[in-house]
A = this chain, B = another copy of it.
């Protein structure tokens, strides 16, 4: 198990953190079996931590709507790979494997989503997500029109854009802080069901 620093900025000790943040961290630890490093690295700034995870949950824990949990993770993996974000590709690659119950999909999406085993609908979703990521100033009606035949609602389109935008922020914070993914993530979900 590595003992490398998980952030180039100070990482607070758990017992020094405000209670609401400790609760949040406790909850995820219980569920995952370990504390994902993003919770510790961002806890350096409690107010930003609260806003970050409130935003995250609004986008990623949303139920209903046209995007499945696995599809939401596909957007995270594809856009985080475009931003070369170590933490997000590794951690959300693991979550994607688990949610999609597919041990190879996350690597496919990370390397080149155009060659991944995905549906044409998912391909259109990721094309849009990548354009938001790489050149949002050029997004226009033609891009929205390409989503329509696949049955995405207006709310789905907002979700694709917002997930891409939010993780674009997250990728930048992880890249600047040298946020290190937990070793546990690498192997998670790799055994076929």
Chain A residues within CB distance 8 Å of chain B: 2, 4, 8-10, 44-45, 47-48, 50-52, 54-55, 58-59, 81, 83-86, 89-90, 103-104, 107-108, 110-112, 114-115, 117, 132-133, 136-140, 144, 154, 158, 161-162, 164-166, 168-173, 175-178, 183, 186-187, 190-191
Smallest CB gap from A59: residue in B:
B48
With contacts A54-B51, A161-B173 taken as known, whether A112 is within 8 angstroms of B86 at the C-beta atoms is yes
Do A104 and B186 have beta carbons less than 8 Å apart? yes
- Return the chain B residue nearest A137 by Cβ: B84
Contact across chains for B51 and A55 when beta carbons are under 8 A apart: yes
A188 to B34, CA, bound (A): 24
Contact B136 A175 (CB under 8 A): yes
- Cα of A115 to Cα of B86 in the assembled complex, Å: 7
Given A45-B58, A85-B111, A158-B176, 19 more A-B residue pairs with CB atoms under 8 Å apart are: A45-B158, A45-B162, A47-B54, A48-B59, A51-B54, A51-B55, A51-B58, A55-B55, A86-B108, A89-B107, A90-B107, A104-B183, A133-B172, A136-B176, A158-B177, A165-B168, A166-B169, A168-B168, A169-B169
| Candidates B9, B175, B191; contact of A139 at CB < 8 Å | B175
CA distance A132 to B168 in the complex (A): 11
How far, in whole Å, are A58 and B51 apart by their CA atoms in the complex? 9
The reply to whether A137 and B114 form a contact with Cβ atoms under 8 Å apart is yes
**Bound form: Cα–Cα A55–B162 in Å:** 15
Q: How far is the CA of A107 from the CA of B191 in the complex (A)?
A: 17
A163 vs chain B, min Cβ distance (A): 10
